[in-house]
Structure 1
Amino acid sequence: MKRLEVRAPAKINLYLDVLRKRADGYHNIKSLLLPLALYDQLVLEQGPGAIEVLTQNPTRFRGIPWPISMGSLENNLAGRAAHLLKTMTGYRRGARIFLKKNIPIAGGMGGGSADAAAVLVGLNRLWDTGLTQKELMAIGARLGCDIPALVHGGALEMNGRGERIRPLRLGRKRLWFLLINPGFGISTGDIYTRYTEDLTSPAPPARFASILRGLEEGSLELIAAGLFNALQKTVFQKYPLLKLMHKELAQLKAKGVLLSGTGPTLFALVSTRAQGYELAARVRAALGCPLWMRVIPAGAAAAEA
């Protein structure tokens, strides 16, 4: 095999609680991650020796190009994942990685981590290195806290740094979300540095249980009742535009509005694709500014090669 196409799914956090800072500088978290049918697309090709990452068709934001400079291997997770896999397995050849971004960069939906997970899964197959999923997850953990979960795939509960995961059961009803991104990125590290516990009231345990039951039963009401993000107030404090957007969504009677991860992407629960498009039109009219918006269902069990 000389060429392989891989899809890297985005994710949202239906629940994210920050528990305490660890001795290693990271935070312990409790989170509920849900993959979406929104994908970055990667083409992996056998190469002579080096790892090369290229960009195809940069994502466009309402007609305005989003320039993507992949830079050196140290500056992009896809390249670092390939290099680390090569180093860990002793593989002698290289790879060219063509990446088309559809997930907003630094948008709180795990795009960079999803790309790294997809590279690990895809190159393991392309190079025939024979690593197990557990071994790929361990390599991913050296690159980012949520990469093991994205290598595993599916709806998951995450604990610790994110390395302790538990698969969750989803009902048969399809879940739809309106995603809204204002077109700028947010540094995850910066938000965790700014986070203080006094900004957020502790989440009642019943909230997490409500989401779990809602996912099993396909109940938007139960999911909406449990949504929680301990970082949301910290993000809103630095980026008041997002607080305004959240307020407008609430005034439009959107159901279950929450910031995903460290943002800036906000999401709202919708019953159907048509309802999502209707809400998107109302949001655009209310805010009167360019926004990246998509109506996307939950999907994708894992990176697909």
Structure 2
Amino acid sequence: MLAQNVKKLIDDKAMDLNSQGDLADYVSKKITILNDYIEGKRELSEPNVDDILSEIVGFFTTSLDIPLEEGTKFLRARTYKVNHLEVNVPKLSYIPLDLSELATLGRLNKEKEPVYYGCIYFEEKGGVNVAFSESNAEVSDNVNILRSTAKCDVNVNYVGIYDYVHRQCKPRFMPQSMFEYFEAVSKYQEEKFSESVFLAHLLCDAFLSDILRRKKSGNLYRVTSILFSIYTESSDIDGIMYTSVKSEGDPVVALKTESVNSKLVHKSCDNYRIINDYGYAKYHAIHTHYGSISGNSVSWLKKNT
């Protein structure tokens, strides 16, 4: 059963959009412009990109926040080319705000605007492998892992979720009941929207899901980095959830730094040395150290071998 506020949102959109002509063609052309920019086939200013994304996200997606419940486990990886055991917890979490000028353009952050990148994990080995892949760890690298837990609901938007619904491809971490709720939203949209408006929504979600799973190239990050501010404009939203680029189906998040400070508890650390990268987010890594956390400090202890 859909919540009444969700039905009203869709009903209002249908009333506004259904009479406005071929919006699927309109959205398709906007997506082509952005893809051409990503591939270097045309020039766009940052305000141009922002305007296009704000329009298609605002009108042609139905964003519903997902509460990641208290106890949800997060991993954050920092990769080093030398042997390094970081003793400052904030440096493992995200680039501190007083050093924000060091934040380079990322998948979901603009230059000088740090965000927290992490992965949600359910079992130890798989989660660590995803963290390695997301941090682009290479053979002989040392990787410090920060383990954190949500102390209350962390509210995120799953970007592109309706593309997964349309393809009947449930993210393996998502409870069946949650996926079925998004299926019900999609079905209600199909009932209420004109064929063109519904197709416009499918195109938009497919595009967003696609660009967040693409490997870095061209102007990709100059497009995706703008999505974070669009989706997290509301103070009620803590971040974005999307699918790992290198480990298809595994959930990763980008969170506001202030949400990390207020909603996550940093529990412990580990250090690994990468021995082999087999591809597809599969690694051979040696666990070298444990780290215990007290306040903002990490105390490291060598693991017995």
Answer whether TM exceeds 0.5 for this pair.
no
TM-score, normalising length from structure 1? 0.26
Higher helix residue share: 2
Which structure has the bigger radius of gyration? 2
